[in-house]
Amino acid sequence: GGPGVAGAHNSSEGGDGGVPTAKKDSSLDPANLLVVVIAAVILVYASHRALRPPFMDMTPGSGEAMAYEEQAEAGEMQLQTAFIFVVVASCSLMLIFYFMSAMAVLITILFSFIAALALGALVYPYADAWTNNRFSKEMDIPWLGPVPQLFFVLLPFCAAVVLGWLLTKSWILNNVLAISLIIFFLTSVRLSSLKVASALLILAFFYDIFWVFLSSNIFGQNVMVKVATGLDVPIKILVPLIFSTGAHMQFTLIGLGDIVLPGLLLCFAMRFDDSKGVPLTSGYFAATMVGYCVGLTVCEIVVGCFHLAQPAMIYLVPGTLIPFAYVAHSRGELGEAWEGLTGHNTHQRLSDNGV
């Protein structure tokens, strides 16, 4: 999926089958601000991990650093990919909107498989370090190629978490899988320039406006809200309302797209800081992160006050692009940021800051 609806509704667990319902005065609930904190923490971790994977020797010239950079460059999003992404997201949205009941099982199986892989990728470096690389030896598997033994050690754990979520629909397990998916995406795909970031985020901006505000006039229903709230898969992070009323637990939510897409720019901002030897607390990353948090906070307040679905990208795109562009302009680096970094430049300076 593409961008989603941040905090647009609050869902009840049980009883209503998970269909979200609006709750009055949700803007007064601390959970709305907790959404911002959770999103920020995830993005800080994901950006760090995309730059310097845990327990990996990122010394310039080392075999691990060169292999990682080669892999990362293979996942770089190009300008044309940004356009394709929005077209594919729109087509997927339409397919799910019209054939949700028929596709529900297929989508659940697909997401379960990807979420299990994402969870495995998230815990892999920590499990590898904890077991002192005991299971690092690779096995040649047909169709897959070389696979570390640790993959098979982690497989039952990941499968158990996914199965637990499928059976219980626990919001905690939902969030574990959703966070795994976010980090998996942000460490697998990256932006190479402000030009690509601007194209992607501006397209997402209009995509969000169309599918949230205008789709009901054409299709008779709000397509984005129906899909985001009707699919029972971990495509959103749920935060329980603290001042919840009623028999069932109620939630505020944020779609994964509202973390992942701005997250791509934040990952690029951290790489750009690193290439310049700028401390993360006073560079592009800090300014862009502050803008993201302000934008998401404003979105949460508007949602709470008006109780309407809000396309979060209206707030998050200017909230992230403007601070980044302002810092770049003030430092005379706008042209360089626009054209972007080469993998070599990043790789050369990767360990200079001790990030």
| Catalytic (active-site) positions | 208, 258
CA 318 to CA 312: how far, in whole Å?
11
**Residue 250 structure tokens:** 């109620």
Listed residue (136, 119, 128, 221) closest to 174, CA to CA: 119
Q: Where do runs of H (alpha helix) occur along the chain?
A: 30-51, 63-74, 79-130, 149-168, 171-188, 194-209, 215-219, 223-230, 257-276, 284-306, 313-330, 334-339, 343-349
Q: Produce one character per residue of 210-232: b if its CB has 16 or more CB atoms within 10 Å, e if not.
A: ebbbebbeeeeebbbbbbbbbbb
**Residue 58 structure tokens:** 């990122």
CA 291 to CA 296: how far, in whole Å?
9
Residues 6 or more apart whose CB falls under 8 angstroms from that of 246 comprise: 12
**Residue 92 structure tokens:** 């997927």
Listed residue (49, 55, 63) closest to 132, CA to CA: 55
Q: Are 154 and 124 in contact (CB under 8 A)?
A: yes
CA 5 to CA 212: how far, in whole Å?
8
